Amino acid sequence: MTKYQNQTRLLVAVDCIVFGFDGQHLKILLIKRGFEPKRNHWSLMGGFIEPNESADKAAIRILKRLTGLDGVYLEQFHTFSEPDRDPIERTLSIAYFALIDIHQYEKQISDEYHPEWFPLNKEPDLIFDHQQMVAMAKAKLRYKAALHPLLLELLPPKFTLPLLQNLFEDVYETTFDKRNFSRKILSTSLLLKQKDKDKSNSRKGAFYYKLDKKHYQKNFHKFLHFIPNPNGLV
C-alpha cells in the first residue's frame, strides 16, 4: 500500500533536561548550541530523531553523547508542538528529563558542546521554548519526588542522610526537621545502613547508606494514600 497523501510531515527532535546534584544544589546541564540558528546560545542538549529510531532510543543516544552515561533514570514528560517554536522550520520536540549522579559525569566526553552545570533559578536565557521545558521538568520532578524516592537517583551509590536532606531541602526550597526527616525516610525500608562513615563534613562522621534494591520496586509507591497503590507506571 502507498503512503498517506496530502499530509504535512514535520521535523521531530528530542531534548533532555539533565538534573544533577553537587551536594549543595540541584543543577541542570546546558550546552552551547553548535549550529544556526542561535549558534553559541545556551540550550538544552537535543537532536533530531533518526529514521528507525524511537524517541526513547534517541533520548538515550543523546544523553550518552552528552554525559557518557548509560542506564540512568530517563523519563519522557511532554511533547512541545507550538508551530513557531523553532523559527527556521516547524519542529516538534519530545522532552525528557534525566537524573544522573553528577560524579559519574565526565566532562571531556562532550567538550565540543561546552557543557556547563547551572543551579536552578540561575540558568542563563535559553533558546526557543527551552525555558518553558526546564520549568515544566522542574515542576514534574518536584511533584513526583514528593511521592516517590526519585531523588535517590541523583546521589552516588553511598550517601549520608544529611546529604539526602540537603537535596530535599534544595529541591523544595525549604528546611526539614532532622529527626522527622530521618524517621520518614527510614520508614520506607529503602535504605540500608552501612558500617562506614563519611568523615569529610564533620568530626563525628555520618553513616553511609545504600539503596536497598530489593525493596526499591516494591516500595516505590509507598507514599500514596488515598488508594494504597493505584498501580504501576506513571
Partner DNA sequence: GTAATAATTGTCATATTTACAATTATTTTT
Partner DNA sequence: AAAAATAATTGTAAATATGACAATTATTAC
What's the CA gap between 174 and 34, in Å, rounded? 37
Site membership for a copy of itself, residue 140 (CB under 8 A): yes
Site membership for a copy of itself, residue 50 (CB under 8 A): yes
Among 9, 179, 195, 213, binds DNA (CB under 7 A): 179
Restricting to residues 111-170, name those near DNA by CB under 7 A: 160-162
Provide φ and ψ at 91, rounded to 5°: -140, 125
Instruction: Choose among a copy of itself, DNA, none what residue 211 binds, the Cβ cut-off being 5 to 8 Å by kind.
Output: none
**Chain centroid offset of residue 118 CA:** 13
Shortest CB 62 distance to a copy of itself, Å: 14
Among 57, 103, 107, 184, binds DNA (CB under 7 A): 184
Shortest CB 39 distance to DNA, Å: 44
Shortest CB 180 distance to a copy of itself, Å: 11
3-state secondary structure of 224: coil
Query: Which residues, in sequence order, are bridge partners of residue 211?
Result: 191
Contact 193, 211 (CB under 8 A): no
Site membership for DNA, residue 228 (CB under 7 A): yes
Site membership for DNA, residue 197 (CB under 7 A): yes
Half-sphere exposure of 90 (CA within 13 A, CB side): 6
What's the CA gap between 96 and 60, in Å, rounded? 10
Contact 30, 116 (CB under 8 A): yes
What is the binding site for a copy of itself (CB under 8 A)? Answer: 1-4, 7-12, 36-37, 48-56, 76, 78-79, 81-83, 87-92, 94, 136, 139-140, 142-143, 145-147, 172, 184, 223-227, 230-234
